[in-house]
Structure 1
Amino acid sequence: MVSKEEIIAKFDPNGPSVPGSLYGLPFGMEHSELIIIPAPWEVTVSYKAGTADAPKAILEASTQVDLFLRDIPDAWKMGMHLLPVAEGFEEENRKYRDLAMKYIQWLESNEEEWITDNLKIIPNAINEICEKVNIFIKSQATAYLNAGKMVALLGGDHSTPLGYINALTEKFGSFAVLQFDAHADLRASYEDFNYSHASIMYNVLKNPNITRLVQVGVRDLCEEEAAFINNSNGRVLTYYDEDIKRALFEGVAWHTICKEIINQLPELVYISFDIDGLDPKLCPNTGTPVPGGLEYNEVIHLIKEIVRSGRAIIGFDLNEVSPGEDEWDANVGARLLYQLGSLMGASMGRLHLID
């Protein structure tokens, strides 16, 4: 069997990337330290669809990403491997997405005085299939975690990482979630779907091992979510985009804001990244874009400072990337994924981040 060292010696990281593997890397699953689970699932998307196309689009766009990072020069040697999509996963997504749309269209028609028997059963059917997806993803994540791999998840909509996060609590115990997002995602349910993308953090917080949720960039939420945050006794700490911008306008350095955010995090951190947390110019095709948001380099700086603080990033997800026709969103998503994976590796001692 060819060793990883032999593969590295034969690979030219400066050459043109060959399509077929993530970033054109020469490693399969065995020699990759980071395993990325694709979850092309968007059954409960409530506005614009397209996030189910993200894993494939990001895989294709990844060949345009140069492997050299100035402060993690050997990042590519760690190995990142995107698993193939499970058989039947995409077909089930299409089937249940069509079903959910029938119910959403009925809700939006404002004709709630009538409902057919076929419509009545849709929410339960969607909730049941989403629960099965959570169980499946949890089993996938558990298997690779038990094999000593680092694991990440690539959605899909933002409902997808629930099972994976629950798997991480069984591996690591308690930790905090750092959420980059335009939305709070704290609704008990949305459009009668318990596992909606708008409910992911509400569902995550059902797990008592999630000690704190720190949200960054939120700028669109409902009254119910604001009350949830205010009544959480500090378990949910939200850095609203409006407040961040005001501090910046008044002369507070972004680095200072980052230090304040990091001080709210324990030693173990999970990053949940909804790409709509970024300024919409970086993700114009995402399902629910909102004006405002973070710049790409602001995000990378914050995550690097987390690593430099000595905290461990034990996992992450990247969601809500909808490629669009020009694949700009996939380009940004591919670069963000590479940074997230490399910085996770550095925080876990698999790579070294240069100060």
Structure 2
Amino acid sequence: MSTTDTTRKPKFDATTTISSEFGIFGIPLSEQECQLVMLPVPWEVTTSYGKGASNGPRIIRQASEQIDLFDFETKTAYEAGYFMKEISEEINNKSKNFKEIAQKVIHMKTEQSDDQATIDKLTAQVNQASRELTDWVYTETKKILNAGKLFGLVGGDHSTPLGAIKAIAEQHKDGIGVLHIDAHSDTRKAYQGFEQSHASIMYNVMNLPEASRPKKLVQVGIRDFCEEEFDFIKSRSDIKTFFDVPTKQRLLKGESWASIAADIVAELPQKVYISFDIDGLDPRFCPSTGTPVIGGLSTDEVFFLFSTLAASGKQIVGFDLNEVSTGEEEESEWDGNVGARMLYKLCNWSVVTNNKK
């Protein structure tokens, strides 16, 4: 049965309709009526391998209407209302324009061009555009938070949530932790000269000014990183990384995922922001993602981790979902479907952990 059937949503006014173009999951409520509001960020300027991450918000929204709203774990959490804002064509166009510039830089470096002046000039343009994107995300996030809404971000590449994490960390002065699910550590100081690369998001997050910086970063699924990143992680007492290899070794030796999930949650403070790069999953679940890596988590393991986090009594104060991509195609129905279902769980658990009595 279609999720737009209002008999599935007993607390919604059956006379209220809203175009799916400006909502999500077929929920017929306006932004003002919804407890949770999502910001789509169609940006993929610094990606260097696969492409199509800027299409993530669109394909997730398209797939979202196929989801049955009642959820076995969170029951009718959706009745709080979820809304995704309109996808910004201005941001999308800037992404296309500056990605062309970034690709030129990457090509010149690959070809070992001796025109360093041009490389430096173009790199500076990309870095400036990325800073402006971060400022835009920060401003838009503050608007959503100031309206009293729960917040989610839908990317885009994984560079997109820097401004959002900054805004949420500033809102919660008692401190937040970031639960980072990813194949990559994303702790490079810069990548290919780009200071706000998708490969640098967590380096940038953990080097924000103290008032804007999470007090703990907990990483899960990490299986692709350089020596520089490994050294950075080991140098920081406020970072705990559950690397994929030792995690899988624990499982292969007979330890339960429940035990590992409990260890992960125990590392987090009371307030948690979830930053989810879809390539944290085994690539069979989202094969079009830009930088797939063998190994990783199953959807069931991620769902169990979310439920363990909720059962611990901790509060999800925001989240992002990134790198759901179309690859070389304009459409990717399977990736959009998986992304929509992961996003729905993030929404549900956010509401549940904030509405506990």
| TM-score under structure 1 length normalisation | 0.92
SS of the equivalent of 1:98 reads: helix
Aligned to 1:297: 300
Aligned to 2:3: none
Q: Say whether 1:126 aligns with 2:121.
A: no
Aligned to 1:52: 54
Aligned to 1:177: 178
1:211-261 Cα distance to aligned partner (Å, 9 max, x none): 1111000000000001011111x2111101111110000000100011111
Letter aligned with residue 270 of structure 1: Y
Provide closer, same or farther for how the CA distance between residues 87 and 349 of structure 1 changes in structure 2, counting only shifts above 3 A: same
Aligned to 1:214: 218
* Superposition deviation, residue 119 in structure 1: 3.1
SS of the equivalent of 1:178 reads: strand
* Superposition deviation, residue 7 in structure 1: 6.6
Choose the corresponding residue for 2:320, options 307, 317, 322.
317
Q: 1:57-76 residue pairs with structure 2 within 5 A?
A: 57-76=59-78
1:134-178 Cα distance to aligned partner (Å, 9 max, x none): 111101110110110001100000000000100001211221111
Aligned to 2:106: 104
* Superposition deviation, residue 127 in structure 1: 0.8
* Superposition deviation, residue 323 in structure 1: 2.8
Provide closer, same or farther for how the CA distance between residues 170 and 18 of structure 1 changes in structure 2, counting only shifts above 3 A: closer
* Superposition deviation, residue 303 in structure 1: 0.9
* Superposition deviation, residue 74 in structure 1: 1.1
Aligned to 2:351: 345
Provide closer, same or farther for how the CA distance between residues 11 and 302 of structure 1 changes in structure 2, counting only shifts above 3 A: farther
Could you tell me whether the CA contact under 8 Å between 1:18 and 1:63 is conserved in 2?
A: no
Choose the corresponding residue for 2:228, options 202, 212, 224.
224
Could you tell me whether the CA contact under 8 Å between 2:11 and 2:79 is conserved in 1?
A: no
Q: Say whether 1:160 aligns with 2:166.
A: no
* Superposition deviation, residue 89 in structure 1: 1.1
Matches of 1:275 and 1:11, distance apart in 2? 36
1:275-308 Cα distance to aligned partner (Å, 9 max, x none): 0000000011100000000000100111111111
Structure 2 residues not aligned, in runs of 5+: 1-8
Letter aligned with residue 148 of structure 1: G
Matches of 1:267 and 1:145, distance apart in 2? 19
Matches of 2:224 and 2:324, distance apart in 1? 18
Could you tell me whether the CA contact under 8 Å between 1:280 and 1:291 is conserved in 2?
A: yes
SS of the equivalent of 1:315 reads: strand
SS of the equivalent of 1:314 reads: strand
* Superposition deviation, residue 87 in structure 1: 4.3
Aligned to 1:308: 311
Aligned to 1:186: 187
* Superposition deviation, residue 10 in structure 1: 2.0
Aligned to 1:286: 289
Matches of 1:117 and 1:176, distance apart in 2? 41
* Superposition deviation, residue 120 in structure 1: 2.7
| TM-score under structure 2 length normalisation | 0.92
Aligned to 1:84: 86
Could you tell me whether the CA contact under 8 Å between 1:7 and 1:26 is conserved in 2?
A: no
SS of the equivalent of 1:266 reads: coil
Aligned to 1:263: 266
Aligned to 1:240: 243
* Superposition deviation, residue 326 in structure 1: 3.8
How many residues are paired up?
340
SS of the equivalent of 1:154 reads: strand
Matches of 2:282 and 2:47, distance apart in 1? 20
* Superposition deviation, residue 18 in structure 1: 7.9
Matches of 1:11 and 1:285, distance apart in 2? 39
Letter aligned with residue 74 of structure 1: T
Structure 1 residues not aligned, in runs of 5+: none
Aligned to 1:195: 196
SS of the equivalent of 2:59 reads: helix
Matches of 2:106 and 2:277, distance apart in 1? 22
Matches of 1:283 and 1:329, distance apart in 2? 5
Provide closer, same or farther for how the CA distance between residues 227 and 40 of structure 1 changes in structure 2, counting only shifts above 3 A: same
